[in-house]
Structure 1
């Protein structure tokens, strides 16, 4: 899959966090824990995103073994995906995002999703894509009057996104530029997995 192809909207799934709140020892990978359906948190989030968009999953580049382990748990939807290894993920979330953007810099826009939010519905991702196609420069889902994730950006904001540093997320731009709010009936846009208690049981 050619993520560098110009003129298309691309999904970026940020999957490089260490998940210390989930397991302070770092021995258990939060993203590889199984959900009730039998798929991992990572696989579910990746499949949902790539059902709508060609997607890049940006993970850590600590060791070849860890990368292979993560790749083995990935599952992609209709449009497929590519696993990218961010060499400076410890610099913060912005480093992971910037790396993903650099690899897809000719895209028309991006839907930026978090790998620990596997409950976002495919319909929500499609609605964000549609908002960009209809001219929005930034689009966010809103459920129960609360903004959530993923967040979509058009190519017009690329230089600003590439300037982000540290743990500064792309949400900083939402305070300074017009935002299209996409109302959805999807509590998944507000629901992340930080601890073992956040994983639902069947």
Structure 2
């Protein structure tokens, strides 16, 4: 079987939740750290599973299996994207946790622009997806309650402010940002990259 065919079969088996077929293909030598159209196999599986509504119940276990079989959660595609990027953009805490527990290094991954970290991008994406509309006029990206100086003191205080606003206004809470912080994710400023 040609490598492209094996890769496509592995991708299909993972998306279908066929754990046994994924194991068979990996044991037969399928490359788990391969690019598919510029994306990594793990990223494609994560993206495909995270896009389904609802996300299949087997998704976290499938990502765990792929990592156990050798898929590297830090392996990046042609544009620097990893599986953690896809899970983050879908704000899927469960899939993000699997990737982080599997060794994904959030501070080693790029943000949306060269001077950002993955956490910077995630925090912006949270404000964009949560507070752009209907809470504020287009473009403000801020909760309706103005932050205090204490809220702006550091990133952890800022995150608590965002969470308080979400609870108060019935918006989605920034659970995935708390998860990233739990696994050491930092802003570019915190890492000294914006000097």
- TM tier, shorter chain? under 0.3
Find the structure with the greater CA-based Rg.
2
TM-score, length of structure 2 as denominator length: 0.25
Give the number of the structure whose residues are more often helix, by fraction.
2
Higher relative contact order (CA 8 A, sep 6+): 1
Give the number of the structure whose residues are more often strand, by fraction.
1
